Structure 1
Amino acid sequence: MDTEKSLAIEEGLNAFNDLMTGINDRKPLSVLIKSTKTGEVLGGMQGRSSLGLLFIDLFFLPPELRKMGLGTDILNRFENEGRRRGCTAAFLYTISFQAPDFYKKNGWEEFGRIDCEPEGTSRIFMRKSL
């Protein structure tokens, strides 16, 4: 799908949602980690807030930046900005080989699971009250 078609779909759905709710509060949110030497983005978290909810869409840290508390710091910053925006709950999905235990350690709870490929793998849906 090309960007133009995708944008038309997104804009159309957003306009419908705005009409139905009378609310247009969706905002993107990113917490980025940049190289202190080059300014290059090395990783981070991105998502959005909308209708009082916070959504985490993507989260990546290079292996050399893991296990140092940086991931928890990024997650806390993301959640805090969601609270500042008035969000009362947060949602995400992760894959069983990614980071469900990380999120559980940070107060997130699983509320659904769907098996996917490869065999033995699941998409895990999680939530957290803010």
Structure 2
Amino acid sequence: MPASDTTAGAEIGVTDAPMPADTAAISDALDRFNIEKTGVDDRRPLAVLVRDPETHQVIGGLTGRTSLGLFFVDLFFLPSELRGSGLGAEILRQAEDEARARGCRAAVLCTITFQAPGFYRKQGWESLGEVPCDPPGTSRVFMTKELTARSAAGPDARSAR
């Protein structure tokens, strides 16, 4: 661990390799604080996983979480050979449907201009804003989508597939 500092009776240090237990301690403490302030205990992970049909190893998918009426998309990846087939839209639809079932009213995510903002726009997401990042000319794109209204496909779209 790099050098640490003692400030206000607490030791602080910067690391690029936090232990999972350290990350969990911060996450759990923030969750307890939020529950105390809101009275709502609804934070849950959400994942839609894509597995190789032969090895059953995860090769892509979406991870995120739901909390306090919001669905947060943290990571979304598909190998290039699976893109453009409609699989990404289906993964996102399944995640959004699960978020709705959990009571989420909206969703948020961050992508990069060279990643998938066009894909998300096609799925009904809207840009909240952009923040420039590297390489020059690139931006982080913050996006949102209302989840309270069902898509044009209607509530029975899943059962029709």
TM-score w.r.t. the length of structure 1 is: 0.97
| 1:25 match: secondary structure | coil
Partner of 1:115: 132
Partner of 1:93: 110
Q: Which runs of 4+ in 1 moved over 3 A?
A: none
**In the TM superposition, what is the alpha-carbon distance from 1:2 to its structure 2 partner?**
2.1
Higher helix proportion: 1
Which amino acid in 2 is paired with 1:119?
Answer: P
Is the counterpart of residue 53 in structure 1 residue 70 in structure 2?
yes
Query: In 1, distance between residues paired with 2:121 and 2:77?
Result: 17
Is the counterpart of residue 71 in structure 1 residue 91 in structure 2?
no
Which amino acid in 1 is paired with 2:39?
Answer: G
Q: How many residues end up aligned between the 2 structures?
A: 130
**Higher radius of gyration, 1 or 2:** 2
Choose from 111, 126, 130 the match for 2:143. 126
Is the counterpart of residue 13 in structure 1 residue 12 in structure 2?
no
| 1:68 match: secondary structure | coil
**In the TM superposition, what is the alpha-carbon distance from 1:3 to its structure 2 partner?**
2.0
1:110-130 deviation line (CA, Å, top 9, x unaligned): 011100111111000000001
TM-score w.r.t. the length of structure 2 is: 0.79
Query: In 2, distance between residues paired with 1:12 and 1:48?
Result: 16
Partner of 1:36: 53
Higher RCO structure (Cα 8 Å, ≥6 apart)? 1
1:18-65 deviation line (CA, Å, top 9, x unaligned): 100111100100000111111111100010110011110000000011
User: Mind listing any 5+ residue stretches in structure 2 that lack a counterpart?
Assistant: 1-17, 148-161
User: Mind listing any 5+ residue stretches in structure 1 that lack a counterpart?
Assistant: none
| 1:115 match: secondary structure | strand
Query: In 1, distance between residues paired with 2:53 and 2:19?
Result: 35
